[in-house]
Amino acid sequence: MKIIQVPFCFYPDPVGGTEVYVEALSRYLQQQSVEVIVAAPGEANQSYLHHQLPVRRYGMSQQLKNLRENYGEGDIHAAIEFSRLLDAEQPDIVHLHALTSGVSLRIVQAAKQRKIPVVFTYHTPTVTCQRGTLMRWGTQVCDGQIDLHACTQCTLQGLGLDKNIAKAIASLPTQVGKWLGDLNLQGRTWTALRMTELVSLRHSTLRTLLAEVNHIVAVCNWVRDVLLLNHVPQDKITVIRQGLCHNLPETINSQPRYAKSALKIAFLGRLDPTKGIHILIKALQVFPNLPINLDIYGVSQGASSSAYQQQLQTITANDPRISFKPPVAPENVISTLTDYDLLAVPSQWLETGPMVVLEAFAAGVPVIGSNLGGIAELVQHEVNGILVEPASVVAWSQQLQRLCQDRQLLMRLGAGIKSPQTMEAVATQMLSIYQLYASGDLLSKPI
């Protein structure tokens, strides 16, 4: 059996959790005698090996000619190059892990035209949420139901518009955006005025993709609920939670925790406001004498990340308890976390994992995290971690103070941790889906 895995990007480019997941899934599938190729969009066509894993990069258009390609069916040039890849490799299954201009509906249609089944994994809220967070107005958990005017309003407000102005623009008919689009008017103001048309286009593309793929993998329960709310048949969805991507280190730090005077807390993740690092820092600074050391292992991705990091470093300049560290290689995360008392995950959006929670549990480290999405599905409050109201600096500061003062609580949380699922188990479940469709039975069936 030959599978083509299609993430948003891949090594050696800067990668996120989805790409780490794809690499691990591919590695374990290879161990089960499955032939795997990773195909990801890139600047140009390219072939290489990444740790014995064949990688094909297919070229994308170098310039965006029309916003409709981003919001609609996708990059035509990327789809043409991917079609050539399909003809050359003749896979049994295509498995998509993103929905972008380069990993698009056009790619799904290219596979279906060749009678190749397509599996789609929903990894992040960006699949169904144009704002990208599934947080209504940036503060309230959204149920995820696709609605043209509500989604347009929220998207525009997320781009910086006043809420009332966002509502006014969202009331414009889609035809206005079509007229402006036909004139190819682009730029901040024109994009805002076109947003109703663009969101409508995105919703239409999403519905078509969800209808055309053969099976959808939801990596947590809230993803399944969003899909069901948007009329995806239940028997087309399988929930397969993320698994631990890397093996446990040969030796785990057996030194007793919680005896040190200062509580050691780690944050690992992207330097982005949605990750909530600023909330965590402000909460810690409520108690300037609290004996806590916070190490931030931040991953910078682009100019916005760099600007956010600069803001964080400015507000922490006079607090020696807070340190910024270089990013940790994925294979070293578990061993790094064994030196800490707590992992902090203050996300301000609906995570589907995150993977770092599983890695903390593998290291025997409890988690303090936002009571949102996938975090709340993995962390049991006062069993293996603490769940906190996401945006409340007061709530975070109170829990940090409590954990610092009550080391017995930390010991109980550590004792409540269970070993997480591995990617080997995920690969076994995924293989059962592949076998169903590769066998020629293209009807969606529950797994």
Question: Which helix (H) or strand (E) covers residue 158, if one does?
Answer: helix 148-158
φ, ψ of residue 308 to 5 degrees: the values are -65, -40
Phi and psi torsions of 344, nearest 5°? -105, 130
- Give the Cβ contact number of residue 312 at 10 Å: 20
Q: How far apart are CA 169 and CA 176, in angstroms?
A: 10
Tens-binned pLDDT, residue by residue, of the chain (447 aa): 999 999 999 999 988 889 999 999 999 999 999 999 999 999 999 999 999 999 999 999 987 777 888 899 999 999 999 999 999 999 999 999 999 999 999 999 999 999 999 999 999 999 999 999 999 999 999 999 999 999 999 999 999 999 999 999 999 999 998 898 888 777 888 899 999 999 999 999 999 999 999 999 999 999 999 999 999 999 999 999 999 998 777 666 545 565 568 999 999 999 999 999 999 999 999 999 999 999 999 988 778 888 999 999 999 999 999 999 999 988 899 999 999 999 999 999 999 989 999 999 999 999 999 999 999 999 999 999 999 999 999 999 999 999 999 989 999 999 999 999 999 999 999 999 999 998 665 444 444
Which DSSP letter does residue 356 get? H
DSSP per residue over 103-128, as a string?
A: S-HHHHHHHHHTT--EEEEE-SGGGT
Q: Note whether 177 and 198 are within 8 A (CB).
A: yes
Q: What are the Cα distances from residue 21, in Å, to 8, 178, 353, 427, 432?
A: 12, 38, 11, 11, 18
**Edge-to-edge strand list for the sheet holding 342-345:** 322-325, 292-299, 263-270, 342-345, 367-370, 385-388
DSSP code string of 311-323: HHHHHTTT-TTEE
Quick one: pLDDT at residue 299?
86
pLDDT at 254: 47
Return the structure tokens found at 121: 């994994």
Three-class SS of residue 441? coil
**What pLDDT score does 447 carry?**
42
Ordered domains of the chain (ranges, CATH): 2-130+199-243+423-438 (3.40.50.2000), 135-196 (no CATH), 263-415 (3.40.50.2000)
